[in-house]
Amino acid sequence: MVQIFSTFEHSTNLELAITVLEKNGIQKGNIFAVPLTNRKTERRLFDSIHNADGISLISTGAALGTAFAVIGASVGFKLAWGPIYWGLIGAAGGFALGVCIDVFYYKVIKKQQRLLRGKNSEVILVIECEESQADIVEDVLWHHFAIGTARVV
Amino acid sequence: MDNYRNVENKFRRYKAHVSIAGTTQFHIRNPYAIAWWSAAFPGFGHLLLSKYYRGLSLFIWEVIVNYNAKINLAMVHSFCGNIEAAKEVLDPRWMLMYIPVYLFGIWDSYRTSVDMNKVYLLAEKEDAPFNSFSIGAMEINYLDKRKPIMSVIWSLFMPGLGQLHIHRVVTAFFALIWTIVFLYFSKLLLSVHYLFLGQLTESTAVLDKQWLLFMPSMWGFAAYDSYVNTVENNKLFNNEQKDFLIKHYQDPTFRVKKGKVVK
């Protein structure tokens, strides 16, 4: 018997991989999954699909952008460029100001050490199988976007 | 058909529910952010909390009373420094009615989000199973992962599309309908059309100030709401899958091999 170790992100692909393995005759008891608690990532402007800690920097930006758009559109009726341009300038300016405030707050005042970007291994998956099946198992794992695999004999 | 039904009624709190109409969930919110959105437009704070009845009642109330009292028009005049014109347009018969409900919206959404944060912590601790898959004759909804940035982009094109992206049908429907009303009566797109033709004076003159001022909040809210909920739905997906894996793929007889890694 060999064991194939692999790491994954949480996704539907992971469950698909497990289903395909079971179809190929791997017993449920021979599949061992270890979901990890991940290190928090550095705050960024937008959360990606892979990593969403919900503490990105757009909350204050969205709030100030809306407020400044209202003021810009209002005052714009008196200014040369008119309400639409000034509304847009207000929205963009307010958003930028909000992001700057958050960046300053979280990176200068609070200074958190959070350093993990890009894809994270969120689940360790260990498959026990016959040596003859090992190639197929690895193939299935790679096809379903495993981040890395290793074979232990 | 759902994959969980509360039959025994043995749990006290649930952290999420996936239904045909959308995915609702408790998560930690910043009460000040919620209060701010209620100040921008009564009802938005409650919609962010997934309290649709309260949110939509306040929203409709705002449109009717603001329109009749001419609050938006008075704001434009005030920001331009025409205080006399602002006094002129406000209708006292409607205006005084505006104040208590406006403040209630802010206060109530703030209070509710503080409360719901506590409920979230309790529900998270209890970790009761919840429905995560729903299929019916007219719709399908289930947990999965989506790109938050796409919610924002679609919301900026048309408020409501970001909510459709993450299957929040109620907010999407409402945002889409009201955006039509606001865009039509404010003549905003006509104004943009004049801008493209280079006719700046006509572009400004054609706008209806009262209706125009509903739009910035609409855009801001639609983008913020769909973004936050996309992120939270993704987190919910991860948590649900984590529980599933622990429940089904951790056989106690499984022994990790102490061998050698081969290439």
B134 - beta bridge partners?
B2, B141
Is residue B36 over pLDDT 80? Answer: yes
Nearest CA in chain A to B203: A82
CA closest to A64 among chain B residues:
B220
Query: B123-155 as b/e, with b when 16 or more CB fall inside 10 Å?
Result: beeeeeebbbebeeeeeebebebbbbebbbebb
Q: How many domains does chain B have?
A: 1
How confident is the model over B174-212, as pLDDT tens digits?
A: 999 999 999 999 999 999 999 999 999 999 999 999 999
Task: Tell whether B5 is covered by a domain.
Answer: no
The verdict on residue B157 lying in a domain is yes
Residues of A in contact with B31 (CB under 8 A): none
DSSP assignment, residue A125? E
Q: Who among B227, B250, B254 is closest to A58 (CB)?
A: B227
Please say if the pLDDT value at position A95 is more than 80.
Answer: yes
> What pTM was computed for the model?
0.88
In a domain, residue B24? The reply is: yes
In the predicted structure, residue A110 carries a pLDDT above the cut 80: no
Long-range contacts of B199-206 (CB under 8 A, 24+ apart): B200/A80, B200/A81, B200/A82, B203/A82, B203/A84, B204/A76, B204/A77, B204/A82, B204/A83
Whether residue B250 lies inside any domain: the answer is no
**Hey, are the CB atoms on B204 and A15 less than 8 Å from each other?**
no
| CA distance, residue A54 to nearest chain B CA (Å) | 6
Q: Considering the domain boundaries, does residue B256 fall inside one?
A: no
pLDDT averaged over chain B? 92
ipTM of this predicted complex?
0.81
Cβ of residue B188 closer than 8 Å to a chain A Cβ: yes
Among the listed residues B232, B226, B175, B210, the one whose alpha carbon sits nearest the alpha carbon of residue B70: B210
At residue B240, φ and ψ (nearest 5 deg) are: -65, -40
User: Do A141 and A149 form a contact (C-beta atoms < 8 A)?
Assistant: yes
The domain in which residue B216 lies consists of 16-241
What's the mean pLDDT in B154-179? 95
The per-residue pLDDT of chain A, averaged, comes to: 84
